[in-house]
Amino acid sequence: MTLQVRLSEATGEMEIRGSRAGLSRLADLLHGERGRLELDRNPDPHPYDTSLSSVEFEETVGLAVALASADSECLEIRGGRESLEILAANLESFAEEAGTDSHLHIEYLPEIGYMSEDSDPLIIALADEGMGGS
């Protein structure tokens, strides 16, 4: 299972890149009330600035929010159950159906209504199966 989160400090954009199993594991985490998942660190996160070390999740209220900072080295995800279930379903569908060149943008869009405008933009990408921890 491979899962990495790379962060652009200038834009706040994050890429969640993982194997099908890694992305599914993250989706499973979002079905719970709270949890933590250790990530594979990427020593060369180019074109991003840094690679984060963990994901922490907590069910709260409201729309889903994904925030990270290079200082904390952690992606924090929180939100109400309905919004988190939609986020988890998107991750699960992508993990099951995406081609190796596919990616998915998840960000605040008022017409979709499950991500908060306070959330950093996410890009979900499928890792090469041989990616390993680097």
Question: Alpha-carbon distance 63 to 113, whole Å?
Answer: 8
Q: Say which amino acid occupies 133.
A: G
pTM for the model: 0.90
Residue 131 has what pLDDT?
Answer: 47
Residue 93 has what pLDDT?
Answer: 97
Residue 133 has what pLDDT?
Answer: 42
Longest dimension (CA), the chain: 38
Average pLDDT per 10 consecutive residues for the chain, totaling 134 residues: 92 93 96 94 92 96 91 93 97 94 91 91 84 43
Backbone φ and ψ of 26, nearest 5° = -65, -40
Question: Alpha-carbon distance 27 to 105, whole Å?
Answer: 16
Residue 113 has what pLDDT?
Answer: 86
Residue 130 has what pLDDT?
Answer: 52
Positive or negative, the CA dihedral 3, 52, 112, 102 is: negative
